[in-house]
Amino acid sequence: QLQLQESGPGLVKPSETLSLTCTVSGGPISSRGYYWGWIRQPPGKGLEWIASIYYSGNTYYTVPLGSRITLSIDTSKKEISLKLTSMTAADTAVYYCARGRLNSAEVAGFFETWGRGTLVTVSS
Amino acid sequence: DIQMTQSPSTLSASVGDRVSITCRASQTISTWLAWYQQKPGKAPKLLIQKAFSLESGVPSRFSGSGSGTAFTLTISSLQPDDFATYYCQQYHVYPLTFGGGTKVEIK
């Protein structure tokens, strides 16, 4: 049974860089037809997709985060890493890692397995 | 970007009620739509994908319908475990976008 576990600092200072890791267990990290995504949820608010990475290494990022965000995969460690620079209070949220299943056009997909999420608070 | 609009934002209902939640896309997304259930402090759980395909293990009282720009999630007989917040998500194109959520409360 596939399991995802997010890890990283719970508290980040403004202007610092956030580094989060998603560790995959119980299933493969590279598999055609699937991809990995990060979704965040500010306290009391809705879900916001922020980034995806495919088995091919292709990445998609939400435009509002622009060049601040970077995703990478370490297949040997079965980890997906997220880096978000220049953190502000607006980045305070629960960050979820999820595995996505692609649609038949293999363009995008829904999220079938989610991690428990990790709360990241931006504060001095 | 494709905007996803859910209504209502809050729904008050009783156990046994039939409830429906609407999700509208700002442009056509075929049937590339998923529905999730989220309970407080928990990760979202996938209920339905491709607008109407029920995920394994999801009770049959949940159903999805629609195509193009208008979609509906229906719970045929609301159970105590169903009080939660529900989100739709389009996966037709990037950026992936979610609806604002519908909170189903106890009446």
DSSP A91: G
Structure confidence by residue, pLDDT tens digits, A2-11 = 999 999 999 9
Residues of chain A where predicted confidence (pLDDT) is lower than 50:
none
Stretch B9-22: mean pLDDT, rounded?
97
Residue of A104, A79, A92 whose CA lies nearest to A16: A92
Structure confidence at residue B81 (pLDDT): 96
- Residue A107 pLDDT: 80
> Of A63, A109, A117, which has the smallest distance from its Cβ to B43's Cβ?
A117
pLDDT given for residue A49 in this prediction: 98
Interface of B with A (CB under 8 A): 32, 34, 36, 38, 42-46, 49-50, 55, 87, 89, 91-101
Q: What is the pLDDT of residue A88?
A: 97
Distance from the B13 Cα atom to the nearest Cα atom in chain A, whole angstroms: 21
Query: Which residues from B are below 8 Å from A115, CB to CB?
Result: 43
Q: How far apart are CA A53 and CA A61, in angstroms?
A: 9
Altogether, the residues listed in chain A come to a count of 124
Instruction: Give residues with Cβ within 8 angstroms of A64, minimum separation 6.
Output: none
In A, minimum Cα distance to B101 occurs at A46
What local confidence, expressed as pLDDT, does residue A57 receive? 85
How far apart are alpha carbons B97 and B91 in whole angstroms? Answer: 7
Average pLDDT in the B69-93 region? 97
In this predicted model, what pLDDT tens digit does every residue of B18-61 receive, in sequence order?
999 999 999 999 999 999 999 999 999 999 999 999 999 999 99
Tokens representing A70? 């970077």
Per-residue pLDDT, averaged over B64-80, amounts to 98
Q: What is the per-residue pLDDT for A106?
A: 76
Instruction: Give the pLDDT confidence score for residue B11 in this predicted structure.
Output: 97
- pLDDT at position A55 is 81
Using a 10 angstrom Cβ sphere, with 0-12 exposed, 13-18 middle and 19 or more buried, the burial of residue B54 is middle
Give the model's pLDDT for residue A33: 87
* Confidence at residue A118, expressed as pLDDT on a 0 to 100 scale: 98
